């Protein structure tokens, strides 16, 4: 448990941990009806990042939670299986960026089936239909 706590609060994983705290506080405020969970939908368009079709708060919360999980997991693994030399420091610095990239891909996959649940949201950009003229 101590290893997990140190990994979550140490550098550089403190950045995704801070983002996760912000997301949790946002959803607590939304549950208490002190803020609107759909308040960001008019301001942010996630279609260029291929995460459109669901509320912005949902997509970014999912992205943050996945990035945090992957980043902390990588930090724990690097703590347990410490590579020799300066490689460990380089990997530890690259882990949050790699975790964010992997979380973005996973979020895109998870958001796709969720789009049916939110018909009022602008859908993700789809390629134009192919011309099947004979």
Q: How far apart are CA 38 and CA 50, in angstroms?
A: 18
Cα–Cα–Cα angle for 95, 99, 104, nearest 5°? 155
* Token reading at 130: 């192919």
Q: Which residue has the higher pLDDT, 39 or 68?
A: 68
What is the CA 50 to chain-centroid distance, rounded? 13
Q: How far apart are CA 77 and CA 89, in angstroms?
A: 13
* Token reading at 66: 């996945």
Residue 70: partners with Cβ closer than 8 Å, 6 or more residues away = 98, 99, 102, 103
Angle, helices 2-9/56-80, rounded to nearest 10 degrees: 120
Task: Dump pLDDT digits (tens) for 6-43.
Answer: 777 778 888 889 999 999 999 999 999 888 877 777 77
In this predicted structure, what is the pLDDT of residue 132? 57
In this predicted structure, what is the pLDDT of residue 3? 76
């Amino acid at each position: 448990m101590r290893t997990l706590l140190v990994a979550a609060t140490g550098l550089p994983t403190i950045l995704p941990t801070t983002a996760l705290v912000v997301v949790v506080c946002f959803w607590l405020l939304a549950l208490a009806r002190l803020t609107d969970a759909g308040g960001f939908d008019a301001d942010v368009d996630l279609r260029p990042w291929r995460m459109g079709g669901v509320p912005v708060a949902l997509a970014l919360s999912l992205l943050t939670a996945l990035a945090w999980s992957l980043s902390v997991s990588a930090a724990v693994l690097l703590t347990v299986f410490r590579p020799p030399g300066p490689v460990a420091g380089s990997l530890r610095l690259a882990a949050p960026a790699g975790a964010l990239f992997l979380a973005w891909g996973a979020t895109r996959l998870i958001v796709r089936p969720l789009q049916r649940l939110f018909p009022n949201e602008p859908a993700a950009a789809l390629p134009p239909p192919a011309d099947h003229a004979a």
